[in-house]
Amino acid sequence: MLYEIAQWLTPDVRAFNVLTYITLRGVLAALTALAISFIVGPAMIRKLTAYKIGQAVRDDGPATHLVKSGTPTMGGALILVSVAVTTLLWADLRNRYVWLCLLTTLGFGAVGWVDDWRKVVHRNPKGLPARAKFGWQSLIALVAVYLLAYTAKLPQQTEVIVPFFKTIAIPLGTVGFVVLGYFVVVGTSNAVNLTDGLDGLAIMPTVMIASALAIFAYVSGNAVFSKYLGFPLISGSGELAVFCGAIAGAGLAFLWFNAYPAEVFMGDVGALALGAALGMVALVVRQEIVLLIMGGVFVVETLSVIIQVASYKLTGKRVFRMAPLHHHYELKGWKENQVVVRFWIITMMLVLFGLSTLKLR
């Protein structure tokens, strides 16, 4: 919105031209999302508490988590409101990538909302049935990815870029791109949801990865930088830097309330939505493999659950003391804070390694 207003005013007042630059709008989006979340956050937490929308803690988890029972959940709605308002304010609303990513994020958020609402308000421990939850996620992801593939104008918009290799790009075609995109979006969404088990564990890696994807988006959408670094130009993808800035800002502000000891949890509404957002942005800028690298913590957490379930079903034995992986380290004696901060450090290292692929080609 402000972008269109700035473009309209620039011929008369040159100072407004500065608001048409993606870099500045990305930073301002982050600060705006921060401000919105800080202003709305306390009131939202009070409302969630008043409506007794509190988290029910599983009794088969670590005993130290029982004290978290009653902490308000569904705080991810705060993040989504902040991201949506900020994106509509600062992004170029004529850009299809912005709408695709934003609507997919909100769609996954709606699925998470229904699941959380049933669990917490209706006291239905099953929430949304697994098939329905997965079905809706799949439908939204397939529609979004198909639209992305269908509106692609150039072959490089559906090719897989291999990190570290400038000349290797795997063409997928429309069908292959849709299949890959489906797994990226749904997989990332559920991986973030599995990781969201300790105070602040999921949100900080999300902020870091969103910030890195903002850089990739800017590079992919800039003719000069993309040519210099050997990336295919994906015209219009630079605007996603604003969307990623909004996620980073909203996430940081949410962390203010979510850091140990948390006053609010994000719930499925936040986790599913943020994972889908990261997956969609990575798909647009063609950095799925780099997302796999930077999101290593999410990947390992998901693998720990798969390995634990598979091992127990096949052999009757557990590989980890508890899954997901963060519980395993808690039961090994690590304090919750230690697990969280150490996973943040690992994510920071992986994000830096992912960013190095910009130049190491």
Partner 1 sequence: MKAHDHRQVRARLTCASPKLSALARGRDQNLPVRFWIITMMLVLFGLSTLKLR
Residue 72 touches partner 1, criterion: CB under 8 A = yes
By rule CB under 8 A, what string of x and - marks binding of each residue 314-343 to partner 1?
-----------------------x------
Q: Which stretch binds partner 1 (CB under 8 A): 144-152, 187-195, 257-265, 326-334?
A: 257-265
CB 37 within 8 A of CB 254: yes
Please say which residue, 68 or 326, places its beta carbon nearer to partner 1: 68
Residue 67 touches partner 1, criterion: CB under 8 A = yes
Of residues 3 through 62, those in contact with partner 1 by CB under 8 A are 18, 21, 23-24, 27-28, 30-31, 34, 45, 49, 54
Of residues 277 through 316, those in contact with partner 1 by CB under 8 A are none
Q: Which residue in the set 256, 320, 334, 353 belongs to the binding site for partner 1 (CB under 8 A)?
A: 256
Question: Minimum CB separation from partner 1 for residue 61, in Å?
Answer: 16
Q: Which residue in the set 152, 259, 305, 331 belongs to the binding site for partner 1 (CB under 8 A)?
A: 259
Q: Which residue in the set 102, 194, 252, 323 belongs to the binding site for partner 1 (CB under 8 A)?
A: 252
Please say which residue, 38 or 353, places its beta carbon nearer to partner 1: 38
User: Residue 165 — φ and ψ, nearest 5°?
Assistant: -120, 115
The Cβ-side half-sphere exposure at 101, using a 13 Å CA radius, reads 36
Residue 260 touches partner 1, criterion: CB under 8 A = yes
Q: Which residue in the set 62, 109, 127, 200 belongs to the binding site for partner 1 (CB under 8 A)?
A: 200
Please say which residue, 19 or 160, places its beta carbon nearer to partner 1: 19
Of residues 145 through 174, those in contact with partner 1 by CB under 8 A are none
CB 296 within 8 A of CB 284: no
Q: Which stretch binds partner 1 (CB under 8 A): 77-85, 169-177, 221-229, 262-270?
A: 262-270
Please say which residue, 23 or 311, places its beta carbon nearer to partner 1: 23
User: Residue 159 — φ and ψ, nearest 5°?
Assistant: -100, 150
Question: Minimum CB separation from partner 1 for residue 146, in Å?
Answer: 36
Length of the chain: 361
- Please name the residues in contact with 132: beta carbons below 8 A apart, sequence gap of 6 or more: none
Residue 255 touches partner 1, criterion: CB under 8 A = yes
Q: Which stretch binds partner 1 (CB under 8 A): 93-101, 179-187, 249-257, 322-330?
A: 249-257
Cis previous bond, 155, omega within 30: no
Binding site for partner 1 (CB under 8 A): 18, 21, 23-24, 27-28, 30-31, 34, 45, 49, 54, 67-72, 200, 249, 252-253, 255-256, 259-264, 337
